[in-house]
Amino acid sequence: CHASRSRDWAHHGAPMFADLTIREMKAVQAYLRGIPEMELTDARSKTLKKNSILLMELHLPKKHEALKALDNGHARPPRQACVIILFGNQTKPNITEYIVGPLPSPTSHEIKRFKGGKPIHFESRPITSVEYDHINSILEKITTTAHKVLFEITEGYSYTNCSLRCLTFSDVAPRGLASGERRTWIMLQKFVEGYFIHPVGFEVLINHQDLDPEKWFVEKVWFNNMYFNSVEELVEKYESGDVPKIKLPNQYNDELYSTYIPRGHSNTPTNIHGPKLVEPQGHRYYIDRNFVEYAGWSFAYRVRSSAGLQVFDLRFNGERIAYEISLQEAIAFYAGDTPAAMQTKYIDAGWAMGTSTYELAPGIDCPEIATFVDLYHYFDTDKPVLHKNALCIFEMTTAMPLRRHFNSNFQGGYNFYGGLENTVLVLRTTSTVYNYDYIWDFFFYLNGVVEVKVSASGYIHATFFTPNGLHYGTKVNNYVLGNLHTHLVHYKVDLDIAGQENSFETMELKYVNFTNPWSPKNFIVQSKLHKVEHKTERSAAFRFGKKLPRYLHFYNPNEKNKWGHQKGYRIQFNSHAHSVLPRGWKEENGISWSRYPLAVTRHKDSETTSSSIYTQNEPWEPVVSFEDYIRNNEDIVNKDLVAWVTVGFLHVPHSEDIPNTATPGNAVGFFLRPFNFFNEDPSVASRSTVIVRPGQDGKPKVQRWTPEVIGHCVTEKPFFYNGTYAGV
Amino acid sequence: CHASRSRDWAHHGAPMFADLTIREMKAVQAYLRGIPEMELTDARSKTLKKNSILLMELHLPKKHEALKALDNGHARPPRQACVIILFGNQTKPNITEYIVGPLPSPTSHEIKRFKGGKPIHFESRPITSVEYDHINSILEKITTTAHKVLFEITEGYSYTNCSLRCLTFSDVAPRGLASGERRTWIMLQKFVEGYFIHPVGFEVLINHQDLDPEKWFVEKVWFNNMYFNSVEELVEKYESGDVPKIKLPNQYNDELYSTYIPRGHSNTPTNIHGPKLVEPQGHRYYIDRNFVEYAGWSFAYRVRSSAGLQVFDLRFNGERIAYEISLQEAIAFYAGDTPAAMQTKYIDAGWAMGTSTYELAPGIDCPEIATFVDLYHYFDTDKPVLHKNALCIFEMTTAMPLRRHFNSNFQGGYNFYGGLENTVLVLRTTSTVYNYDYIWDFFFYLNGVVEVKVSASGYIHATFFTPNGLHYGTKVNNYVLGNLHTHLVHYKVDLDIAGQENSFETMELKYVNFTNPWSPKNFIVQSKLHKVEHKTERSAAFRFGKKLPRYLHFYNPNEKNKWGHQKGYRIQFNSHAHSVLPRGWKEENGISWSRYPLAVTRHKDSETTSSSIYTQNEPWEPVVSFEDYIRNNEDIVNKDLVAWVTVGFLHVPHSEDIPNTATPGNAVGFFLRPFNFFNEDPSVASRSTVIVRPGQDGKPKVQRWTPEVIGHCVTEKPFFYNGTYAGV
Ligand SMILES: [Ca+2]
Ligand SMILES: [Ca+2]
Ligand SMILES: [Ca+2]
Ligand SMILES: [Ca+2]
Ligand SMILES: [Cu+2]
Ligand SMILES: [Cu+2]
């Protein structure tokens, strides 16, 4: 039968999307190191003037090739790796990306080019641990010079030669004001648990553009609301009394402030375990490596080292809904009164947010019953790195019905009661990008709905408090300002609604006013569907600040459901996003995707991503510019379409962000909802439905397809329902 | 200590908000029946020309009196009932509301007046079961006349003398086009499981204004897209062939279509139980009748028979956040091509949605571990009606962290991992308003966040398909149109942020542009907080269609947190609502609250609710008009404020609404989020936190305050966390 063949092909094709294995990574490394003219050395060796591998990850097959395997069961195209090499040991250092294959025994490599052949500035590279080592060295010099200042104001903290009272630092990005620069504002913090919210009021601008760290230098110092041209100038003025010798020790009248250690009390006990999920009869999903099935769903997944979680070949009952849904970028643009705060525009793919998938704690990050999966990354390393339990997959109950109806007879009884519990499969990873922890979720509901969601936790990015800072945030402790910022997250949603040829329309309501047909002296005003087909990319690029139409409808103009409607899905936003800078203003060019809550483009293999790992340190002239994808304003009628979705929220920190931003209320995302894709709600396939009808004897009769008793862990009592509502 | 005294007073005051007991209801009934001049008879007696009790429910104490009990431990004011009496047995029938007290032994009654002393038109009364009996009688006459037509087109269905092939009906509202009318469009449906989506294409307008049902008459008939002035005219034209004799039997090529009976298949098994919630160590919440405590929370609740779920005296750690949060109204305004569809503007408090709280099924409507509570209603009855298990309270895990952070050392190890699972207390009821099932939820999070949410399920309101109907919805089966409509739900949110005197401001961002202080040849553009204090009711009434500011901030100008910020809460919307009719257009006057996603008024005991049980049948000149509350445009600075919140969504039905609208994606609501109300996130009080640090021996050391092992039902393995990410 067609459905089972389709299922086999989906299963067969899933390995095309699997991340690189250890063996593949090692083979690629060995192959490239075997090319003499590349002169590759260890990434972890101390010098910056070297050629080395920065990152390797799966290179996705071209879509039309992958589809042959997925739709016709053809052989899978050979696997390939994409490798970023930093060529620092050259007169003109550069960055080159290579496609290496076939895996697992590579024999060839070719240069991967960006759209328009844009070169990658060497200054746009992410910062590596070796570069951080050198930054640490210059900071040791700086803090030695400023030792007395720091030691006095903090009552005993120092950057070096410290044991319990140490300082640490945070660097912000971008690293400069214009293309080609590499100079970074760094702020010092007390190295305590949760140091992100312990600024000491010392910020320094270090120019580290030269590949010889000996040539790095301090450009500016900010201390206690004043600017200095050098550390020496600060020290001199501090000694002479031109800088007030304010002490910070009273800053933290609560030492626990930044920690997770419990304090305070609660009306009800919390020292016992709360409600937990159990699976009394085992998993109801199927996982084979990166291929997952649940209810009618099947999909493949991967976690791209640069940008994160991706889902491929998403199908329901064998029919494709999306070819790819993938995280592209996450940004947080800040405002503030200190130079580090004003400068902070985090563009997290540049911090390899896909690799910062740290271990998930059972019972906290995912339920105990989850399936935990290890990930492997190759970034800023000389061997593959194992991230244990970095992804989880689980089914949960939402403690809600998916549908329910009590069919009253309006006389104290009922015709029937029917209900189906709402369970959902969750696919989850996290990215801890320095202070912040993003939780990335895909939810697959029984009724063909997918929810894509990001939740924010972790520490806020905080700076030293100044009175003027109150225009840009909230005081969250003495001397600490929580800086306002906007989170935006970008997703690629390559919907393939029952095939590649899709169209896009929006629906709004318009009032119509006409003579009442049954009472001609009256008028009727009612709403009418107002559909607009968007025929070109520009027309389907919706700007922030303008009203997004209510229904965003993607459909296959060639496929109809049983009732004659074109099979479709719609995107429903759950977001409070807005743009973060005026269009075209400096760094905004690097995030041109953020102009649009939704933009629809024609699919191109050359337009794989909307951002890159280079944007953070080169937002001014980015190698990947989303705006380029819509500039040619292509026809999008009955074509292979890609929806690009921006969600996010404004975050004005407040005292309750201490110690961490909490997830309730801080989650945004979008739904993909079937709209006449099926003939009826496909969750009717679930045998977990329960129907109760009054029996002949007046007692309720339960019709069900699951065991009557769930089991001793949940309840030994069989399900009971009374149904009547009687006078007393 | 203050907190414990405050807790005692909250507990002491909760009975003021408890719904009427059976004993109280019976006492009120006996008291009123003992007043000869009222001439009260049974509500269920057949005549409409009688005086009878329609509804009785708790009459809330005046706020300032209740506060004496809640804030100072004073004696509670006497309990009172509010009783609606229909005086049909009079020359000029009227409706009067009485306040009866003191309970449980009433000795007095006084008339309750509406703002402005507006009288309640007798035609505005909800329809009772006795009136439905008479409607049934006239329908028997009508369908007997049209028997042959109906029998032929449906292949054997009839309204009377049927056993397996019966017809039933649905009536729509409002019942007319202008004030004082009582004439209803009624559509016939096949009486099968899920009859709401089985229209047969016969609609009839019955005038039932006269209190003598013998004088009721048919005004119009709609059949197969044609209008007739009488049933006789239809029959005549049908016989003569002027009406095409289309047969409907092929309408339902799938007999299962409207049922819950499973069909279709699934990739993975669904005939076993899915994940379930357990409480391995018991409840972590406390309930004493209508008083509930959980973590720092305490509140009282009730389910008002007319309008539904209400929460009172909401506190966290003894400090009040809201005096009242209560559901006011739910509407669904439709559009369509048949007269019934065009006429449908459901205003559900008029159907006593607070009483349609039918039994909740364990494991579907609420988890098996929930505490189920019975409710009692007195509506259209002669004795109190028991609604078994109509409300539930439970704690659940969201299968997410509330907060988590992995503190990497960026060298394959970590400084610490910390996490706290996100559990939440849920308070839930449902209203099955005929075809639709609303699920009403309050979520109380550990971190001081409240979420108020409504989810929609049940059957869509569907009408007979006509080609022109496609402007107003989707074909969901042969001859069945799912009609577009908008759901709007109104809540009263009487925030009392740390006291009654509150102010309201909105926050937006504005770009500022200034010279870069550390690089004067450059400019900085960044966002700055732009706060606007709204000083009057008009200024704080935000219209749909205009942009709602991002942050809606209620604060106490007289109370500050530890860091000097005014203690506040903000409302965060999760909604896709919009207005449903042009301002002032006929029925829109009845729902003037729906003009505003948010309006802020000064609290008045005379402005208890924004709607009434009378609006459905008299939306044109409603006795309660929300617009009246803001018309005097009072000062709202440092005053007792009430926020009125409208949420909702546009529902264009689609094939996946069959058999029922499903909850995923169909939930809207709002969050109440602390904004500098506390000094830090109050969930730090939870002992469910887990911290992991690398031990001296290199092994992870777990710090926790809950038992190491959860128990055999969840897992026997103690929590384990590795923490490192190492090269392989
Ligand atoms: Ca294009
Ligand atoms: Ca596509
Ligand atoms: Ca007023
Ligand atoms: Ca108030
Ligand atoms: Cu944030
Ligand atoms: Cu609806």
* Tokens found for residue B449: 């966040």
Average confidence (pLDDT) over A413-431: 97
pLDDT band at residue B679, thresholds of 50, 70 and 90? very high
| Partner B contacted by A521 (CB < 8 A) | no
Number of CB pairs, chain A paired with chain B, less than 8 A apart: 663
Most A CBs within 10 A among B276, B374, B673, B692, hence the mutation to make, goes to: B276
Given a cut of 60, whether residue A1 has pLDDT beyond it is no
Contact across the interface for A527 and B407, Cβ inside 8 Å: no
Could you give the residue numbers annotated as active site of A? 348, 436
Instruction: Read off the pLDDT of residues A285-332 as tens digits, 9 standing for 90 and up.
Output: 999 999 999 999 999 999 999 999 999 999 999 999 999 999 999 999
Task: Looking at A146-270, list the stretches that DSSP marks H as alpha helix, in order from N- to C-terminal side.
Answer: 147-153, 231-240
Instruction: Read off the pLDDT of residues A208-257 as tens digits, 9 standing for 90 and up.
Output: 999 999 999 999 999 989 999 999 999 999 999 999 888 876 555 567 89
Average confidence (pLDDT) over A436-465: 98
How far apart are the CA of B579 and the centre of ligand 1, in A? Answer: 36
pLDDT score for B254: 63
**0.80 exceeded by pTM:** yes
Lowest model confidence (mean pLDDT) among A505-509, B380-384, B718-722: B718-722
Nearest by CB to B723, from A359, A399, A476: name it.
A359
Residue B25 host element (H or E): helix B22-33
* Tokens found for residue B19: 């719904």
In sequence order, which residues have a C-beta less than 8 Å from that of residue A350 and are 6 or more positions away? A126, A173, A613, A614, A615, A616, A617
Given a cut of 80, whether residue A264 has pLDDT beyond it is yes
* 3-class SS of residue A478: coil
pLDDT score for B252: 55
d(CA B222, CA B183): 15
How far apart are the CA of A25 and the centre of ligand 3, in A? Answer: 69
Given a cut of 70, whether residue B1 has pLDDT beyond it is no
**What does DSSP assign to residue B76?**
P
pLDDT score for B714: 80
pLDDT score for B150: 96
d(CA A582, CA A169): 31
Instruction: Read off the pLDDT of residues B228-258 as tens digits, 9 standing for 90 and up.
Output: 999 999 999 999 999 988 887 655 556 789 9
Asked if B348 is an active-site residue, the reply is yes
pLDDT score for A164: 87
Given a cut of 80, whether residue B2 has pLDDT beyond it is no
Contact across the interface for B403 and A262, Cβ inside 8 Å: no
- ipTM here: 0.97
Nearest-Cα distance to chain B for A628, in Å, is: 24
| Partner A contacted by B279 (CB < 8 A) | yes
Lowest model confidence (mean pLDDT) among A473-477, B226-230, B695-699: B695-699
Average confidence (pLDDT) over A114-137: 94
Average confidence (pLDDT) over A76-83: 98
d(CA A229, CA A281): 68
- Which of B195, B301, B436, B459 does the annotation list as catalytic? B436
Average confidence (pLDDT) over B330-339: 98
- Pick the closest to residue A417 from A134, A700, A693, A36 (CA basis): A693
Contact across the interface for A406 and B358, Cβ inside 8 Å: yes
- Residue numbers of A between 79 and 138 with CB closer than 8 Å to B: 129, 132
Nearest by CB to B274, from A267, A361, A688: name it.
A688
pLDDT band at residue B711, thresholds of 50, 70 and 90? confident
Instruction: Read off the pLDDT of residues A167-180 as tens digits, 9 standing for 90 and up.
Output: 999 999 999 999 99
Contacts of B275 in chain A (CB under 8 A): 277-279, 367, 369, 394-397, 423
| Partner A contacted by B688 (CB < 8 A) | yes
Residue A474 host element (H or E): strand A473-477
Contact across the interface for A430 and B406, Cβ inside 8 Å: yes
Given a cut of 90, whether residue B562 has pLDDT beyond it is yes
Average confidence (pLDDT) over B92-107: 96
- Pick the closest to residue A603 from A623, A630, A625 (CA basis): A630
Given a cut of 90, whether residue B471 has pLDDT beyond it is yes
Contact across the interface for B267 and A298, Cβ inside 8 Å: yes
Average confidence (pLDDT) over B535-550: 96
Most A CBs within 10 A among B186, B233, B258, B266, hence the mutation to make, goes to: B266
pLDDT score for B249: 61
pLDDT score for B713: 80
d(CA B507, CA B530): 5
| Beta bridge pairs of residue A594 | none
Average confidence (pLDDT) over B653-666: 98
How far apart are the CA of B651 and the centre of ligand 6, in A? Answer: 5
- Residue numbers of A between 451 and 480 with CB closer than 8 Å to B: 451, 455, 457-459, 471-478
Nearest by CB to A361, from B445, B524, B721: name it.
B721
pLDDT score for B411: 87
pLDDT score for A249: 61
Residue B6 host element (H or E): helix B2-13
Average confidence (pLDDT) over A652-674: 98
Instruction: Read off the pLDDT of residues B268-282 as tens digits, 9 standing for 90 and up.
Output: 998 999 999 999 999
> DSSP states of B209-227 as a string?
-SSSGGG-EEEEEEETTEE
Cβ–Cβ contacts within 10 Å for residue A91, how many?
Answer: 4
How far apart are the CA of A536 and the centre of ligand 1, in A? Answer: 9
Cis peptide before A15 (omega within 30 of 0): no
Give A156: exposed, middle or buried? Use CB within 10 Å, 0-12, 13-18, 19+.
exposed
Contacts of B517 in chain A (CB under 8 A): 227, 339
| Beta bridge pairs of residue B444 | B425, B450
Average confidence (pLDDT) over B111-126: 92
pLDDT band at residue B267, thresholds of 50, 70 and 90? confident
pLDDT score for B433: 94
Instruction: Read off the pLDDT of residues B406-450 as tens digits, 9 standing for 90 and up.
Output: 999 988 899 999 999 999 999 999 999 999 999 999 999 999 999
| Partner B contacted by A700 (CB < 8 A) | no
Nearest-Cα distance to chain B for A606, in Å, is: 33
pLDDT score for B724: 82
pLDDT band at residue A422, thresholds of 50, 70 and 90? very high
Contact across the interface for B227 and A517, Cβ inside 8 Å: yes
The percent helix, strand, coil of chain A (3-state, each to 5) is: 15, 40, 40
* 3-class SS of residue A60: coil
Cβ–Cβ contacts within 10 Å for residue B385, how many?
Answer: 21
Nearest-Cα distance to chain A for B232, in Å, is: 17
pLDDT score for B250: 58
pLDDT score for B390: 97
pLDDT score for A727: 83
Average confidence (pLDDT) over A704-724: 83
How far apart are the CA of B454 and the centre of ligand 6, in A? Answer: 12
Residue recorded with tokens 């050198």 = A134
> DSSP states of A503-540 as a string?
EEEEEEEEEEEEE-TTSTTSEEEEEEEEEEE--BTTTT
Q: Positive or negative CA dihedral for A357, A362, A365, A366? A: positive
* 3-class SS of residue A468: helix
Contact across the interface for B689 and A525, Cβ inside 8 Å: no
Nearest by CB to A385, from B280, B529, B725: name it.
B725
Residue of B nearest to A369 (CA): B714
Contact across the interface for A662 and B405, Cβ inside 8 Å: no
d(CA B634, CA A63): 63
pLDDT score for A726: 82
Average confidence (pLDDT) over B344-371: 96
Asked if B436 is an active-site residue, the reply is yes
- Residue numbers of B between 193 and 252 with CB closer than 8 Å to A: 193-194, 205, 219-220, 222, 227
Contact across the interface for B691 and A726, Cβ inside 8 Å: no
Average confidence (pLDDT) over B348-355: 96
User: Within 13 Å, how many C-alpha atoms sit on residue A151's CB side?
Assistant: 11
| Partner B contacted by A685 (CB < 8 A) | yes
* Tokens found for residue B78: 């006497």
**What does DSSP assign to residue A665?**
T
Q: Which residue has the higher pLDDT, B492 or B266?
A: B492
Query: What is the pairing mode between strands B414-433 and A385-408?
Result: unpaired
Q: Which residue has the higher pLDDT, B6 or B519?
A: B519
